[in-house]
Amino acid sequence: MTLLATLRAWLEAQQLDAVLISSRQNKQPHLGFATSSGYVLVTRHTAHILADFRYYAQVAEQTSGYQLHLMESSKPMPAIVNQVIARENLLRVGFEGEQVSWQTGSQWQQLLNATLVTVSLDALRQVKTPQEIAVIREACRIADCSADHIRRFIQPGMREREVAAELEWFMKQQGAEKPSFDTIVASGPRGALPHGKASEKVIVAGELITLDFGAQYQGYCSDMTRTFLVAGRYSDPENMPLWSVYHTVLAAQLAAIAAIRPGVACCEVDAAARNVITTAGYGPQFGHNTGHAIGIDVHENPRFSPTDATRLQPGMLLTVEPGIYLAGEGGVRIEDVVLVTADGAEVLYTLPKTLLPTGEGSWM
């Protein structure tokens, strides 16, 4: 089904005559680009985009099948929407109540000549279209080759911020619009911080370094985490601290990926990873979900969490990212983006998950 056909089927199921879309993430598939400005109004029979002077020409160039309306001070959004309401006799109009302030919602209730119903459209983005999957594949390819580049780039004596800057610049050279989020570079004891953004800390030979990063490409995100060993101290990695922790996390991640297939509940995938880590004695040191859906936003629903009972469907894309974090010592996290296929799962990254050293070397 096309985007508009899917939305109209949803309107019928919700017993709505139209939906007014205001959030950046739910407008983007209609507009073809990301902006917090403007609105999309979809009825049972027509589709409308409301844009101001700044974006009107771009919308006209990049969209088809929509009626375009120029918003001006003399013709704001409520006036345009009320014209459509009157022309099509719209009685019940949904709006994204979670995405607008209480004050804005109250104003719309007064200004729009229809009964407004608060709705959420996020579930409609859970299963990606083939076009979306192709774009996310490219975002993942950019992250994948960037991970290999930055692994070879890292040397003892560098600062974490230097590594983050190089990684983000390389991703842009590969075609990324920007990072999906603030790059995490956490070396040594800072690896115990699950969201340890890059700091001025100097990277030391022999310690682990965790990098969590992503590339945004055509408005869609990738998300990848790898933990490397900073070269220059251990000739045999099995003698290094956290060697067993690394392989416990890797076993947990592989167990979760093996559990992914259509019909499986998200909480079951979380349990597959969590059981491995708990059995190894590190349960309290794994305090976050195993993963999350990804797309226009880097964090979407559903989640691989202990409480999410959503059943997986082909076309869903989620991360798998268990971790163990030991205060004062360091931590390990390994993350892939995984596509739910008709009969299982496909990992969208190719960089090996054996513990790799930084620099040009590799463990055999």
Give 210-225 pLDDT, tens digit per residue. Answer: 999 999 999 999 999 9
Identify the pLDDT of residue 312: 98
Report residue 364's pLDDT band, with 50, 70 and 90 as the boundaries. very low
Residue-wise pLDDT tens digits, 175-223: 999 999 999 999 999 999 999 999 999 999 989 999 999 999 999 999 9
Residues in the chain: 364
CA angle 217, 98, 27 (to 5 degrees): 35
Flag whether pLDDT at 319 surpasses 60. Answer: yes
Identify the pLDDT of residue 232: 75
The answer to whether the CB of 176 falls within 8 A of the CB of 260 is no
> Residue 181's closest CA among 143, 127, 236, 141?
143
Pick one of 3.90.230.10, 3.30.590.10, 3.40.718.10, 3.60.20.10 as the CATH number of 130-357. Answer: 3.90.230.10
Residue ranges of the alpha helices (H) in the chain?
A: 3-14, 24-31, 53-62, 77-88, 102-111, 130-153, 160-173, 243-259, 266-279
Report residue 88's pLDDT band, with 50, 70 and 90 as the boundaries. very high
Report residue 44's pLDDT band, with 50, 70 and 90 as the boundaries. very high
pLDDT over 90 percentage in the chain: 90
Residue-wise pLDDT tens digits, 46-66: 999 999 999 999 999 999 999
Report residue 18's pLDDT band, with 50, 70 and 90 as the boundaries. very high
Pick one of 3.40.350.10, 1.10.540.10, 1.10.10.10, 3.40.50.2300 as the CATH number of 3-124. Answer: 3.40.350.10
Strand partners, 323: 333
Alpha-carbon dihedral sign for residues 323, 182, 313, 21: positive
Distance, CA of 205 to CA of 293 (rounded, Å):
35
Flag whether pLDDT at 235 surpasses 60. Answer: no
Where in the chain are the domains?
3-124, 130-357
Flag whether pLDDT at 287 surpasses 60. Answer: yes
Rounded average pLDDT over 2-15: 94
Q: What is the DSSP string of 52-86?
A: -HHHHHHHHHH--SSEEEE-BTTB-HHHHHHHHHH
Report residue 237's pLDDT band, with 50, 70 and 90 as the boundaries. low
Identify the pLDDT of residue 363: 44
Q: Using CB atoms within 10 Å of the CB of residue 108, give its burial: 0 to 12 exposed, 13 to 18 middle, 19+ buried.
A: buried
Flag whether pLDDT at 81 surpasses 80. Answer: yes
Residue-wise pLDDT tens digits, 223-232: 999 999 998 7
Identify the pLDDT of residue 361: 57
User: What does the mean pLDDT of the chain come to?
Assistant: 94
Between 316 and 35, the more confident residue is 316
Distance, CA of 186 to CA of 205 (rounded, Å):
14
pTM for this prediction: 0.92
Report residue 32's pLDDT band, with 50, 70 and 90 as the boundaries. confident
Q: What is the DSSP string of 201-220?
A: PBP-TT-EEEEEE-EEETTE
